[in-house]
Amino acid sequence: MPRPAFESPAFLKDHVASILSFYEPNAYDPSGGFFQNFRDDGTVYDAGTRHLVSSTRFVFNYANAYLQNGTARHLDWAAHGFAYLLTRHRQSNGAYIWQLNGNEVEDGRAMAYGHAFVMLAAAWAARLEIEEAERTLREVWNFMEAYFWEPEHAAYADERDASLQTLSPYRGQNANMHTVEALIAAYETTRENKYLERAELVAGHFCRTLAAAAEGQIWEHYTQDWAPDWNYNIDKPDDLFKPWGFQPGHQAEWAKLLLQLDALRPQDWYLPTARRMFDNAMAKGWDKDHGGLVYGYAPDGGVADAHKYFWVHAEAFAAAWRLYDRTGSQHYLDEYKRVWRWAWDHLVDHEHGAWYRIVARNGQWLEPYKSPIGKVDYHTMGACWDVLRVQKG
């Protein structure tokens, strides 16, 4: 199959439309929210499980789809998904449940990662003037201030038990990275400086202070005092939310976020840091034998998990495009196309639509579960929308 012009706005818009079409027939649940587990052909294989990450990402997806195309159904679906967050995930104490199954709570922990995505969903819903979105955005900010924010470390803690009384000693970068994403969206929606100032503070702490302990890269896991925990999940390099090893996808994602911050309020360290992080990710994460970016690599440079994941490549091409736009360097345009070529050949499902979640190191198909909980192609469509946004200027 001939490859398209990956930098073309028409291609990116058509590609997003093809992903939306994959979910369209079966995602909507009339009784509330969206189904969250889909086989390769788009059929639902688990109708009961509802994860906070998928619930929030569906709101992001349909809010952005409406803003891009003005399709009334997408506005209705964004409001439908947001209502599910408030009526099913939200608890009387202000916390949002991590995982439900039907009417039962399967995991009642309060996770900073999940609440960051509630903030992101609320910020985008507020742009559509969806009922209670602005109030929810303020409430989630206040909740995270009360239960996760650690001002002495300029970072957010990770998780509390269902009672909110016990704070886990685990600290991690992933929740903080997505909180920065949510804070940027909150600032762009409200123009309230507190969101941008907090995003700048957290980004600086991770990309400068903490990265200094890892040769300019961001480690995933930390102790209660924010020292790198080099052994946490060392036997789980493929963990869904807390994998061991350096994650090239996260290095690229941080690079993208730094450039988003630079576009809002420039600082002289954003661009060189974003370049370093992206260049490191590509140099150390690119599979020289089979192509594509590995999921993770060890501190000594060895491969921690050689599988190829959809989101890693999506974040990489989004970061590459922002670097190309910012620098004008042909190198970053070439990197953008290199990532897209591998993804197009191995990760995009040209029969049914959307991207495979994971493939083998050599790009071979592995599993029939196109989109289990947590995926919903938020990364792939979000990356396309980010490139389109930069192209519009």
| Residues annotated catalytic, as ranges | 250, 379
Q: For residue 389, which amino acid is it?
A: R
Are the CB atoms for 117 and 57 separated by under 8 Å? yes
Give the pair of three-digit tokens for residue 68.
């891009």
Which amino acid, 379?
H
- Name the 3-class secondary structure at 295: coil
- Cα–Cα distance, 210 to 233 (Å, whole number): 19
Max CA distance (Å), the chain: 56
Question: Is residue 332 a contact partner of residue 324, using CB atoms and an 8 Å limit?
Answer: yes
- Tokens in use for 341? 């070529």
Residue 389 has φ and ψ, to the nearest 5°, of -65, -40
Strands 303-305 and 308-309: unpaired
Is the CB of residue 32 less than 8 Å from the CB of residue 83?
yes
DSSP track, 145-182:
HHHTEETTTTEE--EE-TTS--B-S-EEHHHHHHHHHH
CB 128 within 8 A of CB 63: yes
Helical axes 173-190 vs 133-147, angle rounded to 10° = 140
Nearest to 258 by CA among 231, 277, 245: 277
Q: Rounded to 10 degrees, what is the CA torsion of 341, 346, 348, 350?
A: 100
Locate 70 and state its tokens: 């003005």
CB atoms within 10 A of CB 152: 7
Sheet of 99-101: strands edge to edge? 49-51, 99-101, 104-107
Question: Beta strands 99-101 and 104-107: pairing type?
Answer: antiparallel
Measured CA to CA in angstroms, residue 194 lies from 137, 251, 365, 389 at distances of: 13, 25, 45, 24
